[in-house]
Amino acid sequence: MRLTRQSSYAIRALIYCAVNEPGLSRVADIARAHAISELFLFKLIKPLVENGLIATVRGRHGGIKLGRPANEITLLDTIRLTEDNFAMAECFEGGDVNCPLVDACDVNSALREALAAFFNVLETHTIADLANKRRSLRERLGLRYEDMEPVLVAMN
């Protein structure tokens, strides 16, 4: 099974926001950091906003931020929003299946078990886990701690 670019980019956007907290993140900055098209990223962020994983702040100094704490957003939350289909075989999809064993096949059962295990693992990993190495991730994403000083001062 291979996840789509949408899942990869959504996870990257969420990690960027987590690493950039408490500041707001700009879509243009996220796109630049990950070499992603801004237009593609805007389309991708829409379902994340609609489902509360990302919140938007409007205005001149607006941007996006996590919609809830990073330790409450799992990889499964994200991937369920960004993947259209988890069918591992033709028989997962239902409908007209061209297989004489479809009603008595153990492959389908094994694949469903594997998919459930996959989901269980994704549910144990959060965006906070992935953003854990904050300093090195900030540097890799082109975010400097000096840029946060106004935000940190304003918070005190």
pLDDT at 18: 93
How large is the average pLDDT for residues 52-67?
92
What CATH number is given to the structural domain containing 68? 1.10.10.10
User: Is residue 105 a part of any domain in this protein?
Assistant: no
User: Is residue 12 a part of any domain in this protein?
Assistant: yes
Strand partners, 57: 63
Number of domains in the chain: 1
User: Is residue 53 a part of any domain in this protein?
Assistant: yes
User: Is residue 104 a part of any domain in this protein?
Assistant: no
Structure tokens at 116: 């459930």
User: Is residue 111 a part of any domain in this protein?
Assistant: no
User: Is residue 76 a part of any domain in this protein?
Assistant: yes
Closest by Cα among 1, 2, 11 to 78 = 11
List, for residues 107-126, the tens digit of each pLDDT value.
Answer: 777 888 888 898 999 999 99
User: Is residue 30 a part of any domain in this protein?
Assistant: yes
List, for residues 77-101, the tens digit of each pLDDT value.
Answer: 999 998 887 766 666 665 566 676 6
Strand partners, 64: 25, 56
Mean residue pLDDT of the chain comes to 81
User: Is residue 24 a part of any domain in this protein?
Assistant: yes
Predicted model pTM? 0.77
Question: How many of the other CB atoms lie within 10 Å of CB of 70?
Answer: 19
Structural domain including 49 reads: 5-84+127-148
